[in-house]
Amino acid sequence: MVKKLRSVLITAGASGIGRAVADCFAESGYDVHVCDINSDLIDAISEEDNQITGSICDVSDPDQVKQLIDQLLRESSGFDVLVNNAGIPGGNAQIEDIELSTWKKTLDVNLSGMFYFIKNLIPVMKNNGSGSIINISTASVRTGMLNRLPYIATKEGVMGLTKNVARELGPWNIRCNAILPGLVDNDRGKQILADKAKEEGKSISQIEEDYLKYISMRCWIHPREIGDLAVFLASEKAKHITGQFIAVDGQMEWEA
């Protein structure tokens, strides 16, 4: 029997894309719980008057993930939606100069963290007879990025994770899709341009022009566009959409 909960768990949901996704789900009537490594942001959420609650959790630590989910399941009937949003940039270096610690940390957060949440939530989703898992990857997997191997390799891993989870869990009416954001109009997106401008000795406006000329629609992506798609993918309107990689990027052709 399918049990509809309308509850969502979002990793790294206290700021950036994750917070925009959380707001979109809350506005759509979901009970929303976010986890984040930033305790100040979690404290701020707890003081707000809305249906978003929060917990501190390092997604790269399997014990913390299990403890969080065990606690949440003791307090509720579970979650029918999981948004795996947590990710780190993974440094900026040529392949031979990549620190092993950077490589491992990027794998732990960007890929293993998603697996830990999926692994721990699957039993309750199977028991409820439904579920929607939404993994945040990046449009950059389709273009590649110079000096960003740990990030791109892990986000490519997210694609394989998504496809195989969709195949394995389809018989339980559990869907899994990936969203591929493009150039996101938030602090992190702006910092990427600022860092590249400094590296190349150009102005930020020049770097922005370099980026946008390789995007068909010449656009930045607002974080809420990611949230709107996530809400759709979790809804009954997308009940037979699974195993898909959907870009919100204005058609990113290449990256400067």
Region for 90 from its dihedrals, namely left if φ exceeds 0, alpha if ψ lies in -120 to 50, beta otherwise: left
CA distances from 51 to 7, 27, 83, 133, 217 (A): 10, 9, 17, 20, 35
187 near 198, Cβ under 8 Å? no
- Active-site annotation holds for 116: no
Of 227, 231, 141, the C-alpha closest to 180 is 141
Q: Exactly one of 30, 116, 151, 211 is catalytic; which is it?
A: 151
Q: HSE-up of 180 (CA within 13 Å, CB side)?
A: 20
d(CA 145, CA 124): 38
Q: What stretches of 28-112 show up as alpha helix (H) in DSSP? A: 39-47, 62-75, 100-107
Active site residues: 151
